[in-house]
Structure 1
Amino acid sequence: MTDQTTSTPAAVTPDTTSATSATSATSATGTTGAAQPLATIVIVNWNGAHLLAACLDGVAKQDASFAYRTWVVDNASTDGSRELLAERYPWVHVVAAESNLGFAGGNNLALRSVTTEYAVLLNNDAVPEPTWLTAVLAPFTEPGGQHLGATTGKVVFLPRFLRLRLHTATFVPGPHDSRALGVRVSSVTVDGREVLREVLWEKLTYGAEGPASSPYFWTRGDGELCVPIPESGPATLGFTWAAESLKQVTLSWDGPTTGADTATTGGRAELSVSPESATVTVTVGGDAPRVDVINNVGGIVLVDGYGADRGYQQVDTGQFDQPEDVFTACGNGMAIRSSLGHELGWFDDAFFLYYEDTDLSWRIRARGFAIRYVPGAVLRHVHSASSVEWSPLFVFHTDRNRLLMLTKDATARLALSAVLRYPVTTASMALRSLRQARAARGRPAIRPTLLRLRVIGSYLRLLPTMLRARRQIAATATERRGSLQSWLVSR
């Protein structure tokens, strides 16, 4: 992707500055006459008119004693986003992109013109708590803050959840699929509203399967899921599922309940599932506890080169309430010294979407700076609001960008291992698909293989650029690659 700078704004004038000040602010979205803004909040938007109001209302309510600017980069939206910004948020400076530059390119379009001491990134599908901005910037001026290159906060999922535990008998499908499967879930509703994509499945299922338009999930025999439910009052949950045979499923949760078409005792429901897909319901009482679930509390990189959200889908019980250094920062809620960002060239435009924050974090650490997790800087986030997790868009960019990141930042041994393993795994998956199709006397699933071939082709086209970047990083690094990889963690 080429760098587009023609739409980059000039320095923001006072009437486009969003600020609060203990002494001179006129309102939460007003301006200060003399106060020099300390930070610029950059929000990338693409067809997110339905998300912007909650996000910007949260920005306007920041309890900060300093001035700050708010820039929204609009990636050529066609849903009325720019009209909404002009009508309801005139204090926001809009950076108009001529095309969809993705998260990386969209942020860069603004970041390359930031003149404030700090740049702070915020997703358009995130709602900041009132103390978020003050908290995420505070460590830079605390003792030892001169060694910090960036900070990152606590990101929790926007809704609150009912924590459910599932138990059922399992079966193994066959010689080409050795998973122990429980039930196949194709729909989850709460009071009649479909929430399948909003359920947190990490501790129960093997991930989404089937087409992106109608995914389903195979559960394990035991595990936990979190279902978003209203903040108060009873909620009726509906599960549409099937299994290999007639059997029972036990759901349990904290708090008393009453059942509709189920036999229930306290926080426990015994439900039937059969080979034919059917829907069962259970009503949970209004006094069932709601919990917050963590999306990200800083990032990690695994020893095989995969990036991951630290604390992902853990119920927030205070286990991450202490500040600490982390290996990577999350692009949603990340604050960075602007001078360092300019030196590093900010994000890599070629990444477009995903892993761009991990790559930037790795480069920050290569310069000898630390990254601090700040538990008091809280955002509530609508997960995968802009791109559906496990969609072709998601898989293409996460697979390709992981290889690009390792090529730029990791030791040669780790990078080569990951890059060479990818086509081998692709061939293995294609052969397994052929064997399964032959056994079932059907057609093999070729789309996953074609998608992975696209990843390989795109990676190879970008390889010369990544190798040049690798040499540039090495020339300015103060930390050796091998030393940085001591942060990598085992699965």
Structure 2
Amino acid sequence: MKKVVVVILNYNGEKLFPIFLPSVIQYSNNDFTEIIIADNASTDNSVEFLKENYPTIRRIELSENYGFAEGYNQALEILKEENQFDYYILLNSDVEVTENWLTPIIKIFEKDTEKTISAIQPKIRMHAEKHLFEHAGAAGGMIDYLGYPFCRGRIFDTLEEDKGQYDDQTSIFWATGAAMAIRSEVYHDLGGLDKDFFAHMEEIDLCWRIHHTGKKIMYCPESTVFHLGGGTLNPMSERKAYLNFRNGLTLLLKNLPSKNLFFKVFFRMVLDGIAGVKFLLEGKPKFMLAILKAHFYMYSNLSSTLKKRKANQAKFGTLKLPKIVYPKSIVWQYFANKNKTFKELD
């Protein structure tokens, strides 16, 4: 079998290790898989805890907190120099895996002799309520024509119960960074995750670049993991809202086709403004300010973002919208048409 490495990026996750690491060790420790924990300069006792309780697990200790995106870039660059792993598994520190979770994923890669598949995501359900799909990936990530991400099994805050309705092995737009399997050469050829995203949507940006190459991303229902979510960053924080709105605009500017680029970005900003008013009416002014801050970031960093867009155009040629993109507004479908599940969409 090919060599696989499960890389867990950690930042102050000492309390998570006793809960989630045992399953990773139990179900991922075999002849063709290695487990590595990359520590993002934690300020708690993460490193000491690992040394004392899991001394045989390899650690990569980074010199500072690089964030999710650059933290993985730094760790995987070290592994690139070793040139021994064919597949990287990016796994959050708050994920519980199940027996044989890697086997069906690797089988998909191995059967794909022409390497048309670049990345794969398992089924992701909630750790607390294991019958429900989880926000970060569910049964595969999708995106609408305005760049709003959603999932099979999760649209905005509506989580579906897993009743086997998404047990089809199928192409998806994006694989979650909470549990993403990717060919090592693809990761490095595309330059890894965009460090300026810091966290949130950086995996969608990477997957969009995969689509620019004409390759596919797959969902593997035979593999199941359970995700806690918010293990490092509070899911209801203003910081997360800022990153999501900021990175959502950056995602569009980097990857959308030139046709209607201005219109789509402008319309997206209008919808952001409506969201800001909604936050204000709900008594959440800090969330409205997070949106304003995100827009000001876009203005002040427009030049550098457009340089990345030009780099994409130079590498991939004319940027085209992948056919798998949902051609309508998921916002309209969800809030106006009341379509709350993926199967209800047109």
Give distance in 2, aligned partners of 1:57 and 1:50: 13
User: What are the superposed Cα offsets for residues 45-74 of structure 1, whole Å, 9 maximum, x if unpaired?
Assistant: 111111123332112112676422222121
Distance 1:310 1:427, change over 3 A: closer
Superposed, 1:267-286 pairs within 5 Å as none
1:376 aligned partner, one-letter code: E
Q: Report the equivalent of 1:359.
A: 205
Distance 1:66 1:369, change over 3 A: farther
Specify which of 452, 461, 469 is matched with residue 308 of structure 2.
Answer: 469
Q: Report the equivalent of 2:295.
A: 456
Q: Report the equivalent of 1:42.
A: 7
Give distance in 2, aligned partners of 1:60 and 1:338: 22
1:50 aligned partner, one-letter code: K
2:165 aligned partner, one-letter code: Q
Give distance in 1, aligned partners of 2:216 and 2:273: 40
> What TM-score, normalized by structure 1, do the two folds share?
0.60
1:345 is displaced (CA, Å) by 0.8
2:106 paired with 1:137: yes
Give distance in 1, aligned partners of 2:200 and 2:142: 14
Q: Report the equivalent of 1:253.
A: none
Specify which of 160, 163, 180 is matched with residue 314 of structure 1.
Answer: 160
Check the 8 A contact 1:71/1:110 in 2, yes or no: no
Specify which of 29, 33, 39 is matched with residue 74 of structure 1.
Answer: 39
1:93 is displaced (CA, Å) by 2.0
Check the 8 A contact 1:406/1:414 in 2, yes or no: no
Q: Report the equivalent of 2:133.
A: 293
2:115 paired with 1:146: yes
Check the 8 A contact 1:323/1:373 in 2, yes or no: yes
Give the SS at the match of 1:389.
Answer: coil
Give distance in 2, aligned partners of 1:357 and 1:431: 29
Superposed, 1:179-328 pairs within 5 Å as 291-295=131-135, 296-312=138-154, 313-328=159-174
Q: Report the equivalent of 2:262.
A: 416
User: What are the superposed Cα offsets for residues 127-186 of structure 1, whole Å, 9 maximum, x if unpaired?
Assistant: 11121122222211115562111111101111336xxxxxxxxxxxxxxxxxxxxxxxxx
Check the 8 A contact 1:331/1:357 in 2, yes or no: yes
2:336 paired with 1:488: no
Give distance in 1, aligned partners of 2:276 and 2:218: 42
Q: Which has the higher contact order (CA 8 A, sep 6+)?
A: 2
Give distance in 2, aligned partners of 1:476 and 1:430: 36
What is the RMSD of the two structures over their aligned residues, measured on CA atoms? 2.6
Q: Report the equivalent of 1:232.
A: none
Distance 1:423 1:364, change over 3 A: closer
Check the 8 A contact 1:408/1:466 in 2, yes or no: yes
Distance 1:485 1:405, change over 3 A: farther
- Provide the identity percentage: 28
User: What are the superposed Cα offsets for residues 330-380 of structure 1, whole Å, 9 maximum, x if unpaired?
Assistant: 112111111111111110000011100100000011111111111112111
2:232 paired with 1:386: yes
Distance 1:425 1:118, change over 3 A: closer
1:141 aligned partner, one-letter code: E
Give distance in 2, aligned partners of 1:63 and 1:112: 22
Give distance in 2, aligned partners of 1:298 and 1:389: 20
Give distance in 2, aligned partners of 1:351 and 1:149: 21
1:307 aligned partner, one-letter code: P
2:66 paired with 1:101: yes
Unaligned stretches of 5+ residues in structure 1: 1-35, 162-290, 438-443
More strand by share: 1
> What TM-score, normalized by structure 2, do the two folds share?
0.83
Unaligned stretches of 5+ residues in structure 2: 331-346
Give distance in 2, aligned partners of 1:92 and 1:124: 14
More helix by share: 2
Specify which of 347, 366, 371 is matched with residue 217 of structure 2.
Answer: 371
Across the two proteins, how many residue pairs are aligned to each other? 319
Specify which of 117, 122, 135 is matched with residue 86 of structure 2.
Answer: 117
Give distance in 1, aligned partners of 2:302 and 2:312: 15
The structure having more radius of gyration, on CA atoms, is 1
Distance 1:85 1:417, change over 3 A: farther
Give the SS at the match of 1:106.
Answer: helix
1:127 aligned partner, one-letter code: E
Specify which of 319, 331, 335 is matched with residue 181 of structure 2.
Answer: 335
319-328 vs 117-126, which deviates more?
319-328
Give the SS at the match of 1:146.
Answer: coil
Q: Report the equivalent of 2:335.
A: none
Give distance in 2, aligned partners of 1:408 and 1:341: 18
Give the SS at the match of 2:193.
Answer: coil
1:423 is displaced (CA, Å) by 5.1
Check the 8 A contact 2:171/2:217 in 1, yes or no: yes
Superposed, 1:435-446 pairs within 5 Å as 446=285
1:421 is displaced (CA, Å) by 3.5
User: What are the superposed Cα offsets for residues 376-425 of structure 1, whole Å, 9 maximum, x if unpaired?
Assistant: 12111102222222310110000000111111111234542343245545
Check the 8 A contact 1:37/1:69 in 2, yes or no: no
